[in-house]
Structure 1
């Protein structure tokens, strides 16, 4: 059975698992400096860092933000040795049931085959692709904005909700001054 277990940096074994999987699963420009992530994990009340378990087996991690009206999934990854075993599907099902509000996430634009597969995966599980120009602000000073799209699950409207969501992500998650 899939479950999420919140972690802090004091949970050394699980936190190390999460950091290693983050670095292995995402290019450096797609995550914040690890010391900043540790600070967010321990000090930011609406930021949630979780290990994903199948019963007692840690299979991945998920980080998300709790905003009024929606959740934003910042990172989600499963152990590469366990990929294609149905864990992503089961985790998304659990996530949507567990959070009970609309969910927003960022995806790379469908240029590369892996990005297309990722978008299709989320669409098969009830997410809608908003094909509106969206640029992920850089996590690290000197990096570039990354062209992305937003995907949503739940009752959100691209025309009505996009700008408010974009503003929250840019100012709160990425610290952009607008």
Structure 2
């Protein structure tokens, strides 16, 4: 049975699994410095660092932020040997049962097959791709901003909610005023 378990850095084995999966699944410019990630994991009430377990065995990670009007999925990855085995769908189904607000996530622009497949994956689970231009701010000093797109599931509308969502993401997640 799939479960999401919120972890802290004191849960050493699970934390090390999740950190390794983060650093091997995402380019450096798409995650914050690990010391900052550790601080958020242990002391930021808005942030949840979750390990995905299947019958107690680590299979993935899901981090998200409770931003009041919506949840923002920051990172979601399944361990590479276990991809395309239904875990992603199961995690999204479980998340839908556990959270009571709309979901937002960032996806890479559809410039390559991997990005296109990722967008199609989320569309199959009722996420809508927003056409608004969006840039993920740099996670690191002197880091690169990354062109992205937003996707949503639930009662959010790009015309009505885009500015508010960007403001909340930039302030809370990326610490930009």
Q: Deviations over 1:7-58 (max 9, x none)?
A: 0000000000000000010000000000100001001011000001112121
Separation in structure 1 between the aligned mates of residue 131 and residue 148 of structure 2, nearest angstrom? 9
TM-score (norm 1): 0.97
SS in 1 for 2:133: strand
Deviates more, 1:92-101 or 1:67-76: 92-101
Separation in structure 2 between the aligned mates of residue 170 and residue 67 of structure 1, nearest angstrom? 11
Q: Which residue of 2 aligns with 1:58?
A: 58
Separation in structure 2 between the aligned mates of residue 113 and residue 103 of structure 1, nearest angstrom? 24
Q: Which residue of 2 aligns with 1:28?
A: 28
Q: Which residue of 1 aligns with 2:74?
A: 74
Q: How far did 1:100 drift?
A: 2.1
Separation in structure 2 between the aligned mates of residue 52 and residue 144 of structure 1, nearest angstrom? 29
Separation in structure 2 between the aligned mates of residue 129 and residue 158 of structure 1, nearest angstrom? 9
Separation in structure 2 between the aligned mates of residue 10 and residue 100 of structure 1, nearest angstrom? 28
Q: Which residue of 1 aligns with 2:3?
A: 3
Q: Deviations over 1:80-103 (max 9, x none)?
A: 011111101111111112112100
Q: Which residue of 1 aligns with 2:117?
A: 117
TM-score (norm 2): 0.98
Separation in structure 1 between the aligned mates of residue 92 and residue 32 of structure 2, nearest angstrom? 23
Separation in structure 1 between the aligned mates of residue 55 and residue 130 of structure 2, nearest angstrom? 34
Q: Deviations over 1:86-121 (max 9, x none)?
A: 101111111112112100000000011100000000
Gaps of 5+ in 1: none
Matched positions, count: 177
Q: Which residue of 1 aligns with 2:40?
A: 40
Separation in structure 1 between the aligned mates of residue 124 and residue 174 of structure 2, nearest angstrom? 29
Q: Deviations over 1:107-152 (max 9, x none)?
A: 0000111000000000001100001000000001111211100000
- Counting only pairs closer than 5 Å after superposition, residues 136-151 of structure 1 correspond to structure 2 as 136-151=136-151
Q: Which residue of 2 aligns with 1:131?
A: 131
